[in-house]
Structure 1
Amino acid sequence: QKDKNKLSGKDAFKLYDTYGFPLELTKDILREDGFEIEEENYEKEMKIQREKSRKSWLETKISVEIDKVKQKLYENVLKDYGQTKFIGYDFEERKSKVIAIIKDGKLVYEVKEGDNCEIILQKTPFYAEKGGQIGDKGVIISYTHDDLLITVSDTQRPVEGIVVHFAKINKGEIKVNDEVLARVDLIRRKAIARNHTATHLLHRTLRDVLGNHVKQSGSSVNDDHLRFDFNHFAPLTKDELDKIEDLLNNKILDNLKVETQFTTFDKAKEMGAMALFGEKYGEQVRVVKIGEFSLELCGGTHLDSTSNIGLFKILNEQGIGSSLRRVEAVTGAKALKYVKEKENIINEISDKLQIVPSEILLKIDQTINEVNNLKREIKITQNKLARYEIDKLISKKREIKGINIISVKVDALDNNDLRNWGDLIKEKIKSGVIVLGTELNQNKVGLLAMVTDDLLSKGFDAGNIIKAIAPIVGGRGGGKKTMAQAGGSKTDKLNQALDKVYEIV
């Protein structure tokens, strides 16, 4: 920064925009240490932000209008062509018929290579995002020729009854009424199913370990990891997390059968199935039963057996609101990868310490003890050196009208260290005025003034001394009559400030 005594307007605006610091508060804080703000640049940043906000508001308004038009389009497709039949519980690929194609927000008859579009099929094995489970990916191809390749990057249900495949035409062309083969990415689907079945096990496990007050308040299931939100009044302890992991992994090893059935909502409640609070259910619901351990209403895709989860590993547990907790975890190959990464770290530590993994904790304890012993030895040595340095500093004292005055520069690590120097000198001289100065990191100055108790009645005041010399180093300070401190930014003026003490006294 060109002017070292000024905070850039960009940084000042960041304090306001990101952390909520008002400009005036930042000014007051900086003024205490002799700093200012580049207000012209601050106003420029504020102007840029206002323009961004205005643009964002306009874009949001336009987006809302576009969404309304799109929603109406989907409703018309549902009205004209009927519902998409979901067959993904039983099939990962199936022949189907194209009933509608949307491109650039409009219904079109055909799309060609390179086009991005939305495809609606008569029936589909693709699961559309719902209930916290991410939508399927995969391909749509011709089941008679190899001249068609469409990649499906997402599957959504914008209105109930319609499944939309967000797609790109990589090869060939496709028209309304074409017969195609819809194929789900099976590896990804199974990874999602592992995480979804694991969330059901996690829900029941949390209730068993923490209590029946635990209820699911949200979840997110994809092929990478799972996230489970629930109500609970306190952070989970390590012991609780270990119990949850152990119990859940035991249920995986038990190879519990995962069964599903459709029934009425009332019948499902009679069976004891758990329903999510606030979720809307129709007359017909799907029940997912995992052995005798878990019974929930759920429309997502699942495994046939808990053993197919492989391994469950918690990554993180945190609070997300008042009495709301969140657990993030991985399963299957992702969990094995996580464990392997931890194992590699342990092995690397073992190699560096030249010990076997089982001896790491013992080695750490030994190292901590050695470090503490060395710290004690260093402290003893520093005290010996300090006493020698103190005698040197005291030898520089001046006596003015019978008062001992010491005003010198010392090498201190920080303001606490500076106070330690002052205490040692004060203890040694018994009576006098002590002023110490030091150069700190980032071109800062630290000042300390001390007055022994016997001189207070004679009008000596450490606070007044600091107030008189602090402006010389470009700072401000204050404190009590017996001790006061100040900071500044003009390191080249430190000696001048220390010399000024003799004039003041």
Structure 2
Amino acid sequence: MQKLGLNEIREKFLSFFESKGHLRLPSFPLVPQNDSSLLLINAGMAPLKPYFTGKEVPPAKRVTTCQKCIRTPDIEQVGQTARHGTFFEMLGNFSFGDYFKMDATKWAWEFATEVLEMPKDRIWVSVYNDDYEAADIWTNHVGVSKDRIVYLGKDDNFWEIGTGPCGPCSELYYDRGEEYGCGSPDCAVGCDCDRFVEFWNLVFTQFDKDENGTYNKLDHPNIDTGMGLERIACIMQGTTSIFEVDTIRKVLNAAAEIAGVKYGEDNQIDTSLRVITDHIRSTVFMTADGVLPSNEGRGYVLRRLLRRAARHGKMLGINEMFLYKLARVVADESMTAYPELDQNFAYIESVIKSEEARFDETIDQGILILNQYMEEMKQSGTKELDGEKAFKLYDTYGFPIDLTKEIMGENGFVVATKLFDDLLNEQRIKSKVARGNMDDAAWENDIFIDVEGSTVFDGYAKLKGTSNVLAIAKGSERVEEAEAGEEVTLVLDRSTFYAESGGQVGDTGIIESDDASLKVIDTKKSNGKFLHICKVENGVVKVGDKVTTLVDKERRQSIKRNHSAVHLVQAALREVLGKHVAQAGSYVDEYRFRFDFSHYQPLTEDEILKVGMLVNKKIMEAIPVECFEEDVATAKSMGAMALFSEKYGSRVRVVKMGDFSTELCGGCHVENTGKLGLMKILSETGVSAGVRRIEGVTGYNVILQMREKSKLIDDVSSVLKTNPSDLLNRAEGIVAELKDARHEIDSLKSKLAKNSVDDILGNTEDIGGVKVVTKILDDNIDMNTMREIGDNIKNKIPNAFVVLASKIGEKVNLISMASKEAIDKGANAGAVISEIAKQLGGGGGGKPDSAQAGGKKPEKTEEVMKNVSDILKKHQEKNK
């Protein structure tokens, strides 16, 4: 049997099944596409479910993949054992109604014994109790000895989840030898010991289980196989641990090197190294697929793994950020199979660095508080941490509850999780209520609940239409009519006014009837009904009136330009920064657009320039904008971008701008990108961890921006008395003049400092053999000058202890210095100045020989400086 590397095994498997007519597909992302039942992909067949269920047509009837997977149910066990891990790769070959048991079993045996050259006498096969067909194939067609076939029950060898497609399994086991066994005479396939290792599961999906529990035969049975890449690598490399596999061991070795420890000598150290190794692998792959650390969903899984790894680093004595260094090792070991790791590495590294830095801010303080809690619990004999204290750690200090439970568990304590969960739920309810109050909660109080039907939107194709008034409200009261001067809300059966949604603001304009005219101030939506917020300009409007709707054309056009720009910006960002970019929110009105997106670091000037140039290039190409309805599956198969948080119906609206941008969107757009005129990015800022924001303008608003900039340049040129064309030279000249003037001022200050030393030495007092020099200098003396004065005094008096002060506005600056001789006699600059600063309402400190501080009570400076000698005496006596 060859000792093959993990990367070699993967390639051999995929190439083998390609030779058997299978289409090799790249791994699907860890984030499930169009599958809300899964948080993260956890099995090789999970992304292929639509093909097995018949919802989608597979790209080929025979497919082979190596799928990235994440499983976290046993996260606490990771590190404790040599087996458990959160990240793994699953090799698989699949048949969608094509070949069945005969080919699946023959190829499995061929690959195992001929390609991997596994000894035939070490391989055992299990089949389902009633699957005599599979047993016959193994013995009579493949040639496996009958005494190496084991029959197992439904729990072990039958795959089903509720109703639907299901079937028996056949598994291949490798016998490691008696030395790995439990010693029991009954030790055989299925035993929990380490002797017989299951490495390949062949699922024969041949039944469709109905609600009555009947197993109906499928007309077109399927094959679904799974072989854990890390597990088969263990077998091929003769290791008992996934952490000993070549590519994984390199990550572990790198972690050990950073920590300055060795693997295999101490169980506690080994546990931490395994945790770090596994979690950084998961972190790198999740980040590469666009997952960002957060407090919910898959983002929380990522944050938990990353922070658990960082904490185990601290347990090993690593007191610096180190996970991003290990990320490079992970990428190097796996990028041949997953090129996105290398292509997106700068982004992956920045996400990990940022999250590790955030955790550094909370971990030390959290552990300190936890240690205090545990000490109190030991003294009181309590074994359960109060849930309120655990919640305070989480809510106030950002310390993860999972980490609290883990640390408490390691020390023999538990957490009152019920109270914690109650407090967390209470906080979520309060937060939801608060958000409701902020987001126009009045519209949630639907006073139009009894109005039947939904408003039909006619405004994509036209801005003018006719409709009927279904209901009128004044404030929170329903009325039958409204007259001139009153502000009301109208519900119409159909409307050309776009109601605020998807980040696009509501339309404004005019509603007219034979007897009234109303100005539409805004349009919102509630339970499918469009709410037209209006002011009656003249006449009387009544329920049942037939009205004409007239949307403000110029305003709508400006909104459309900005909304289309958002789509172009997202596509440009994905091209410039990487495919991890995803929309995190947007806002579009007639003046500007705002686009929030996932990215973990500020954009460089060059990146902003590239995005802007690319968008304007697409504008100048005058690409037709297609808007059409499609079913969800077809739209997404076209590559249409969708918001993860958005719920879509069976039919969706697709907005397509050539091959550059395809998105699901219900908003209003221009007919051609050329109608945007121009786009200008105004700003790029951070919104929250991992989310950036771009704001920009299009069309006429770009011209207005240019006018404002041009006027500013003219105004500045006028103040500096120069022509706009020479503005830069003039500004550089002024900066140079100011720099020279600053140097001259600093030089004069330095001379002044030297000249004033002799005057200052007149205030010398001997305290225990230390020459104490104190002086309140002139106002507005900077720290550098104060230090220079202090150094000059120390040079003149070998055993000097110096304290200087200078008032600056409403504050006072302080410096303190002590010579070596003074320190030997009990002087400590840092300790003394800290006490002085407190008396002045401030703080500071430093080393025994040099320290600085500040105070907020300059009026007390003279009084406090008189206490320097007494404070020094106190410290001298303490140090005797």
Name the residue aligned to 2:485.
Answer: 114
Name the residue aligned to 1:180.
Answer: 547
**CA 1:119–1:414: 2 relative to 1, 3 Å:** same
**CA 1:423–1:128: 2 relative to 1, 3 Å:** same
Q: Is it true that 1:231 corresponds to 2:231 in the alignment?
A: no
Matches of 1:107 and 1:205, distance apart in 2: 48
The Cα of 1:88 is off from its aligned counterpart by: 0.7
Name the residue aligned to 1:419.
Answer: 787
Name the residue aligned to 1:370.
Answer: 737
Name the residue aligned to 1:127.
Answer: 498
Asked if the contact 2:767–2:869 (Cα under 8 Å) also holds between the matched residues in 1, the reply is no
Which 5+ residue runs of structure 2 have no aligned equivalent? 1-395, 398-429
**CA 1:494–1:460: 2 relative to 1, 3 Å:** closer
Which of 476-485 and 199-208 deviates more?
476-485
Cα deviation, 1:224-277, whole Å, max 9, x if unaligned, reads: 211112222332111111011111112112222222223333333344433332
Asked if the contact 1:197–1:303 (Cα under 8 Å) also holds between the matched residues in 2, the reply is yes
Asked if the contact 1:474–1:490 (Cα under 8 Å) also holds between the matched residues in 2, the reply is no
Q: Is it true that 1:317 corresponds to 2:684 in the alignment?
A: yes
Name the residue aligned to 2:622.
Answer: 255
Cα deviation, 1:350-393, whole Å, max 9, x if unaligned, reads: 33333443443343333333333333333333333332222343
Q: Which has the higher contact order (CA 8 A, sep 6+)?
A: 1
Q: Structure 1 residue aligned with 2:519, among 147, 151, 173?
A: 151
Q: How does 1:281-320 map to 2 (within 5 A)?
A: 281-320=648-687
The Cα of 1:465 is off from its aligned counterpart by: 7.7
Letter of the 1:422 partner, please give it.
Answer: G
Matches of 1:59 and 1:277, distance apart in 2: 20
Name the residue aligned to 2:235.
Answer: none
Asked if the contact 1:472–1:497 (Cα under 8 Å) also holds between the matched residues in 2, the reply is no
Q: Structure 2 residue aligned with 1:74, among 438, 448, 459?
A: 448
Matches of 1:366 and 1:392, distance apart in 2: 40
Letter of the 2:509 partner, please give it.
Answer: G
Letter of the 1:134 partner, please give it.
Answer: V
Matches of 2:434 and 2:604, distance apart in 1: 47
Asked if the contact 2:456–2:493 (Cα under 8 Å) also holds between the matched residues in 1, the reply is yes
Q: Structure 2 residue aligned with 1:276, among 643, 648, 656?
A: 643
Asked if the contact 1:473–1:493 (Cα under 8 Å) also holds between the matched residues in 2, the reply is no
Asked if the contact 2:828–2:848 (Cα under 8 Å) also holds between the matched residues in 1, the reply is yes
Name the residue aligned to 1:490.
Answer: 860
SS of residue matched to 1:172: strand
Letter of the 1:157 partner, please give it.
Answer: K
Asked if the contact 2:754–2:789 (Cα under 8 Å) also holds between the matched residues in 1, the reply is no
Q: How does 1:10-409 map to 2 (within 5 A)?
A: 70-71=445-446, 73-78=447-452, 82-142=453-513, 144=514, 148-160=516-528, 162-394=529-761, 406-409=773-776
Asked if the contact 1:414–1:440 (Cα under 8 Å) also holds between the matched residues in 2, the reply is no
The Cα of 1:218 is off from its aligned counterpart by: 2.0
SS of residue matched to 2:500: coil
**CA 1:139–1:498: 2 relative to 1, 3 Å:** same
Matches of 1:480 and 1:295, distance apart in 2: 61
Matches of 2:571 and 2:435, distance apart in 1: 44
Asked if the contact 1:469–1:500 (Cα under 8 Å) also holds between the matched residues in 2, the reply is no
Cα deviation, 1:288-321, whole Å, max 9, x if unaligned, reads: 2223432222221111222221221112222223
Matches of 1:58 and 1:480, distance apart in 2: 48
SS of residue matched to 2:687: strand
Matches of 1:410 and 1:326, distance apart in 2: 48
Cα deviation, 1:108-157, whole Å, max 9, x if unaligned, reads: 32222233222122221111112221111111113x5xx52211112122
Letter of the 2:586 partner, please give it.
Answer: S
The Cα of 1:200 is off from its aligned counterpart by: 1.4
Asked if the contact 1:472–1:493 (Cα under 8 Å) also holds between the matched residues in 2, the reply is no
Asked if the contact 2:772–2:801 (Cα under 8 Å) also holds between the matched residues in 1, the reply is yes
**CA 1:128–1:430: 2 relative to 1, 3 Å:** same
The Cα of 1:64 is off from its aligned counterpart by: 11
Matches of 2:473 and 2:840, distance apart in 1: 71
Matches of 1:298 and 1:127, distance apart in 2: 13
Asked if the contact 1:98–1:121 (Cα under 8 Å) also holds between the matched residues in 2, the reply is yes
Letter of the 1:490 partner, please give it.
Answer: K
Matches of 1:403 and 1:231, distance apart in 2: 61
Matches of 1:481 and 1:157, distance apart in 2: 68
Letter of the 1:88 partner, please give it.
Answer: G
Aligned length: 442
The Cα of 1:414 is off from its aligned counterpart by: 4.8
Name the residue aligned to 1:24.
Answer: none
Matches of 2:561 and 2:471, distance apart in 1: 33
The Cα of 1:423 is off from its aligned counterpart by: 1.4
Asked if the contact 1:137–1:184 (Cα under 8 Å) also holds between the matched residues in 2, the reply is yes
Name the residue aligned to 1:38.
Answer: none
**CA 1:331–1:154: 2 relative to 1, 3 Å:** same
SS of residue matched to 1:77: coil
**CA 1:431–1:116: 2 relative to 1, 3 Å:** same
Asked if the contact 1:87–1:123 (Cα under 8 Å) also holds between the matched residues in 2, the reply is yes
Cα deviation, 1:158-183, whole Å, max 9, x if unaligned, reads: 012x2221222221111122122111
Asked if the contact 2:573–2:611 (Cα under 8 Å) also holds between the matched residues in 1, the reply is yes
Matches of 1:426 and 1:397, distance apart in 2: 12
**CA 1:86–1:346: 2 relative to 1, 3 Å:** same
Identity of aligned residues (%): 38
Asked if the contact 1:316–1:328 (Cα under 8 Å) also holds between the matched residues in 2, the reply is yes
Letter of the 2:538 partner, please give it.
Answer: K
SS of residue matched to 2:535: strand
The Cα of 1:77 is off from its aligned counterpart by: 0.7
Asked if the contact 1:196–1:221 (Cα under 8 Å) also holds between the matched residues in 2, the reply is yes
Asked if the contact 1:443–1:491 (Cα under 8 Å) also holds between the matched residues in 2, the reply is no
Matches of 2:692 and 2:700, distance apart in 1: 26
Asked if the contact 1:418–1:436 (Cα under 8 Å) also holds between the matched residues in 2, the reply is no
Matches of 1:446 and 1:233, distance apart in 2: 38
Which 5+ residue runs of structure 1 have no aligned equivalent? 1-19, 22-53
Asked if the contact 1:95–1:181 (Cα under 8 Å) also holds between the matched residues in 2, the reply is yes
**CA 1:500–1:475: 2 relative to 1, 3 Å:** farther
**CA 1:114–1:59: 2 relative to 1, 3 Å:** farther
Matches of 2:673 and 2:835, distance apart in 1: 76
**CA 1:378–1:117: 2 relative to 1, 3 Å:** closer
Which of 190-199 and 413-422 deviates more?
413-422
The Cα of 1:346 is off from its aligned counterpart by: 2.1
Which of 100-109 and 249-258 deviates more?
100-109
Matches of 1:268 and 1:476, distance apart in 2: 62
Letter of the 2:797 partner, please give it.
Answer: K
Name the residue aligned to 2:171.
Answer: none
Letter of the 2:483 partner, please give it.
Answer: K
Asked if the contact 2:632–2:651 (Cα under 8 Å) also holds between the matched residues in 1, the reply is yes
